[in-house]
Structure 1
Amino acid sequence: MGEVEPMNIDGADQKKKPLKRKRVEPCLYTLSSEEKQAKIKAFRDEINSLVRFCKDVLLESRGALLDSVEKVGNSSSLNSVIACLMEESVLPLSKLVDEIFEKVKGRTGDVDGVSKASVKSAVLIIGQRLCYGVTTADADILEDDAECALWCWETRDLKLMPKLVHASLKVRRTCRKKIQERIMAVSVSNVMRSYNSSRQRMLSRNARSTNLYEFNELLWSISAMIKALEKSENHPNYPQELMKASEKLSKVLHEADIRLLMENMSQKNGAEMAEKEAKREEKLLIKQMEKNKREMEKERKKMDRVLQKEKLQSEKELKRLHDEAEKEERRRQKEENDMQKQLKRQQEDAEKDQRRREKEEAEMRKQLALQKQASLMERFLKRNKTDSTSK
C-alpha cells in the first residue's frame, strides 16, 4: 500500500531550526501548590478542548465522506466502497463491520457475494485504526471506544478514495497529527509510562504507515508539563525535566494555531484545486481542439480519398469508353474494308461474268455466222448440184 505523503502547505513540512537550549525561568521553580494545580487543570482543560475539536472535525467531515460513496460508482471495487464508508469512522471494529455490511448489502443487493467476514477482512487489509488521543496500555486497539482515545479509522492507500476528497483528507490528517502532538505534549505521563514494548512497536508501525513517526519519537519522552509539575521540587531531576517538558511544549502548536493551520491549508487546497481544475479544463479543451483537428484532418483525408477514388473511377470509365470507341471504330473500319472487298470482289465477278457472257455471245455469233455460212454454202452447193443434174 502506498504511504500517504504529508502535504507541503504553509511551510508545515519544512524542517524546523533546532531550538537553542534555554534556561528555565526561576519563576517555574517557585510555583506554589495551588499554582501547580491551576496549571495542571489548564493543561487538562486544553486536552478536553482538543478532544472536542478533533471530534468536531471528524463529525463535520463524516457526512461528506459518506456522500462520496455515491461518487465511486457502481462499477468500482468493493474495497473502494468500504474505504469510503470506513474513513474517519470512530466506531469499534465490530460495529463498523456491521454498519458497512448493511450499507454494502443494500447497495449491491448481493447477499451471497458479501458477508460480514469478507467485510471485516477488507477493513483490516485496507484500513487501520489510529489513536490520536490518550489511551491505556490494556486497551483493545480494534474494539476500545474510549472518547479520550480519539480513535479514527484511516485508509492505508488514498487511491481507493475519490480524487476529489484526497486534498481534504490530507488536511484533516495533518490537523489530527498536530492535535495529537499537542495532547501528547501536555498529557499525563503516568498513563503512558505503563505501555509495554509490544504496544510501543505496534504504535510505531501505525505511526510510520501514516507519516506520524514524529509522534512515535515523542511517545516515550512525554515528560510533559503535567509530569514535571506533579514532581516534588526536591526531586533531583526536577529542573531538567521541567525544562525538557517546557521545550517540548513550546515546539507543538496550540489549538488556535492548529485551527488557523487547518483553515489556511483548506483555503490553499481550495485554491490549488481550483487552479488544477482550471488547468484540467484547459487541458481538456486543448485535447478537444486537438481531437477536433484530428477529426477534421481525418475527414479531409477521407474526402480526398473519396475524390481520388471517384477520379480514378472516372478516368477508368473514360478509358474504358475510349477503348470501346476505338474498338468499335476498328470494327467499323474492318466491316467497311470487308464490305469494300466484298463489293470489289462482286464487281470483279460481275465483270468476269460479263466478259464470259460477251465471249460466249461472240462465240455464239461466230457459230451462228459459221452455221449460216455453212447453210448458205450447202444451199449453194445443193442448188448447183440440182442445176447440174437438170442439165
Structure 2
Amino acid sequence: MTARPAPRLGERLLTAVSRDPLTVPHRTRNDAVFAAVVGVAGLVLALFVDDGRRPDALGWALLAGTAVPLVWRRARPGLVLVAVLLCVAPYHALDNAHAAPVPASLLALYTYAATARPLHTLFVGGGVIGIAVTVMFGVGAHEGLETLRTSGWILAVLVFGVDVRVYRLYIASVVGRAERAERTREEEAARRVAEERLRIARDLHDLLAHSITLIGVQTSVASHVLSVDPDRLDRAQIAKALDDIADTCRTARGELRTTLEVLRADGPDGDGPLPDLAALPGLVRAAGARLTLDAGEGALPPAVEAAAYRIVQESLTNAVRHGGADAHVEVALTRRGETLHVTVTDDGTASSGTAGTPSGPSGFGIIGMRERARSVGGTLSAGPRTDAAGFEVAAMLPLQPTEAAA
C-alpha cells in the first residue's frame, strides 16, 4: 500500500486557519505557547526598543497582564480583549516602551475579529483606535500623531480577522453541504434497498403462493380419484393430475431461478427478465380459468405487463385456494386508449364470495396486488361482486408514466 505524501506547509496552514477555533484540539495548551511567545516578544521590545522609558515594577506587571490573558483568547475572546486593553491603556499612559505591548494587543484584536460578528468588530475597532489616540495625545502630541499614523495596522489586523472568519464560515458551509449530500445518498441507498426488499417479497409471494396452491389443488384431485372408487381407478385422470403437478413444478423452478439470478445481479435495481403477457395463457390454462385478452396494437411497457401478470397470478391463486378446483374463473385484459384494464372474477361456489381475500391474518395477496398496481401508477380494487356471487379483482394500469409511478 503506497503511503500518502505528507501535506505541504501551505496546506497545513490553510487547514489550521479553516478550523473552528472552539474545536481545535489542545487549544488551551497552544494558546499558552502563543502567550509565552508574545510575552517574550514584549520583553525584548521593552528592553531593546527606545521609544519610551524602560518599565518599572508597575510597568512590567501591566506588560505581563497583556500576555497572560491570551491563554484563554479563543475560549473568551471578548473578555481577553477587555483585559488586554485595561492593561495597555495605563501602560502607555505611564510612557513606558510603547512597542512592547503591540504584539499582545494585535493578537487579541485579531482573535476577536475572527470570532465576533463584523459589526461588533467595527465598533470595537473604532473604540480601540479612539482610546489609543486619546491616551497617546495625553502623553504628548508627537506620540498621539504617531499612534494615529500607525493605526492602519490595527485596521489591517481587524480586516484580516474578519476575512478569516468569513473563510471559516464558507468552509463550514461547504462541509455542511457535503455532509448533507452524503446523508441524502445514504438515505437514497436505504430507500432503494427497502424497495428492492419489497419487490423481492412480492415476487416470491406471487411465485411460491401460486405454484404451491396449484400443486395442492392438483394433488387433492389425484387423491380424490384414488380414494373415491379404488376399484375403478381412472389412470388417465391421475396421470393428468400428476403431469399438471410436474408442469407447475417446472414453471415454478424456472421462475424461481430467474428471481435468484436477478438477486445475484450487481445492479441495485435488479434488472432482469420480467414476466409478460405472452406467458399469461399458460398461467390461466394451468389454473383452469378462461382468458379474454385484447392488448390492442403496439407493445406495452414491460413494467405494465409484469404488473398485469402478477396481479392475474395472485388473483388466480386466491380464487383456486378459496374457491376450490370447481371454481369458475374468468380473466379479461382489455386495452382502452392508454389504459390496460385487468379483471379477474370467480363465482365463489366453495367460499361464498371470499375467493379474493387473503387467507389468515397474515395474508398479503391484495396488499401485494395494490402495490403492483401503484408501482406503475395504476389503481386496484378487490371485493365481492355486486351483480352475482363471487369475488372480483379489477385493476387499471396506465400505459404512460405518471407521478404516482415516479
Which has the higher relative contact order, 1 or 2, with Cα contacts under 8 A spaced 6 or more apart? 1
* TM-score past 0.5 threshold: no
**TM-score, length basis structure 2:** 0.29
Richer in strand (by share): 2
Higher gyration radius (CA): 1
